């Protein structure tokens, strides 16, 4: 699926996107970190305390929020990015995959900077920080994979950005970011576990609290994510090859 682009083009395009989005300055880059950091800190410090009733905070909610923002921004910015650069893509050799990958990496750079700030603020142990970085790379691949196929839908449906915004709102509330899956009424647990995005937050929870490991919950979550990836590939791969004719 990566045959249509080359790394040299990707590297140069990322550099151009950084110049465009961050104005090529440290200040521009740091300015872009404010919204995700404010959201992560608000949820960790205020909403987290209200729900848990616990003054002690370990950063798990803030980190979960940042992972959610990474996930949603990669998908929304990549799909919108292809529309933004559509006039260039359909008249030159700038490949759609380059645009999606470049947007993905630009979002990841912001994520990793915001994540390290949260890790320092909440004094997250180095081993947990390291595990979360490894997990973030898996999430990055997962989000890229979804964006890679969803660009077809975003190219066809003019109201795709509105749909995806509603979907992400739904995903946010059904994902155990504000609450833990183990706090949910056990009759409804499977409803949450079957969400293809639950696996990410389950793994974040397990990195912070390994004692909660439950093979059933984790394997169903992972199976749900893999099934979702397979479904996307199966249903959209034929159209994905023709994405240029929709732009």
Partner 1 sequence: MTPQPLVKLTDISVDLYNNSSDNFSFKKFVLSRQFLPKTISILENISLTIHKGDILGIEGSNGTGKTTLLSVIAGILPISKGERLVNGRCLPLLGLGHVFHEDLDIKRNIELWSLSFNSNFLINDDFIKSIISEAGLHVTQDVLLRSLSSGMKSRLAFELAMRDSEDILLLDEVFSVGDAEFRARSGDRIKSKLKQSGCAVIVSHDRDILEKNCTQILRIKDRKTIELC
Interface with partner 1 by CB under 8 A: which residues?
6, 8-9, 12-13, 15-16, 19-20, 87-88, 90-94, 156-160, 163, 239, 241-242, 244-246
To partner 1, the closest distance from the beta carbon of 20 in angstroms equals 6
Instruction: Let me know: does 88 contact 152? Beta carbons within 8 Å.
Output: no
Question: What is the rounded CA–CA span in Å between residue 203 and residue 187?
Answer: 22
Contacts of 49 (CB under 8 A, 6+ apart): 55, 57
Closer residue to partner 1, CB minimum distance, 12 or 182: 12
Closer residue to partner 1, CB minimum distance, 94 or 174: 94
To partner 1, the closest distance from the beta carbon of 159 in angstroms equals 5
Closer residue to partner 1, CB minimum distance, 20 or 138: 20
Q: Which two tokens stand for residue 220?
A: 């169903």
Closer residue to partner 1, CB minimum distance, 23 or 182: 23
To partner 1, the closest distance from the beta carbon of 171 in angstroms equals 17
H or E stretch covering 133: helix 126-156
> What's the N-to-C CA distance of the chain in angstroms?
19
To partner 1, the closest distance from the beta carbon of 5 in angstroms equals 11
**Sign of the four-CA dihedral 112, 118, 123, 129:** negative
Closer residue to partner 1, CB minimum distance, 54 or 159: 159
Q: Which residue from 145, 152, 118 is spatially nearest to 132, judged by alpha carbons?
A: 118
Instruction: Let me know: does 63 contact 132? Beta carbons within 8 Å.
Output: yes
Closer residue to partner 1, CB minimum distance, 161 or 227: 161
To partner 1, the closest distance from the beta carbon of 103 in angstroms equals 14
Burial of residue 174, with CB atoms counted within 10 A of its CB: 0-12 exposed, 13-18 middle, 19 or more buried = middle
To partner 1, the closest distance from the beta carbon of 143 in angstroms equals 21
Instruction: Look up tokens 């389950």; give the residue.
Output: 202
Question: What is the rounded CA–CA span in Å between residue 177 and residue 108?
Answer: 20
CB atoms within 10 A of CB 7: 10
């Amino acid at each position: 699926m990566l045959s249509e682009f080359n790394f040299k083009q990707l590297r140069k395009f990322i550099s151009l996107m950084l110049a465009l989005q961050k104005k090529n300055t440290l200040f521009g880059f740091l300015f872009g970190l404010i919204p995700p950091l404010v959201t992560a800190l608000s949820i960790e410090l205020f909403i987290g305390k209200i729900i848990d009733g616990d003054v002690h905070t370990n950063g798990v909610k803030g980190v979960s929020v940042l992972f959610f923002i990474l996930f949603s921004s990669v998908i929304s910015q990549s799909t919108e990015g292809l529309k933004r650069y559509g006039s260039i893509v359909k008249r030159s050799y700038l490949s759609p995959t380059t645009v999606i990958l470049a947007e993905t990496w630009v979002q990841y750079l912001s994520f990793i900077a915001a994540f390290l700030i949260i890790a320092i603020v909440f004094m997250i142990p180095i081993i947990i920080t390291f595990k979360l970085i490894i997990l973030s790379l898996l999430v990055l691949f997962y989000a890229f994979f979804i964006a890679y196929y969803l660009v077809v839908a975003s190219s066809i449906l003019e109201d795709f950005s509105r749909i995806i915004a509603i979907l992400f709102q739904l995903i946010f509330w059904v994902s155990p970011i504000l609450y833990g899956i183990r706090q949910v009424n056990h009759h409804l647990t499977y409803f949450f576990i079957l969400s293809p995005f639950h696996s990410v937050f389950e793994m974040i929870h397990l990195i912070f609290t390994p004692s909660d490991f439950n093979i059933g919950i984790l394997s169903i979550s992972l199976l749900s994510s893999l099934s979702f990836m397979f479904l996307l590939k199966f249903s959209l791969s034929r159209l994905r090859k023709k994405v240029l004719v929709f732009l």
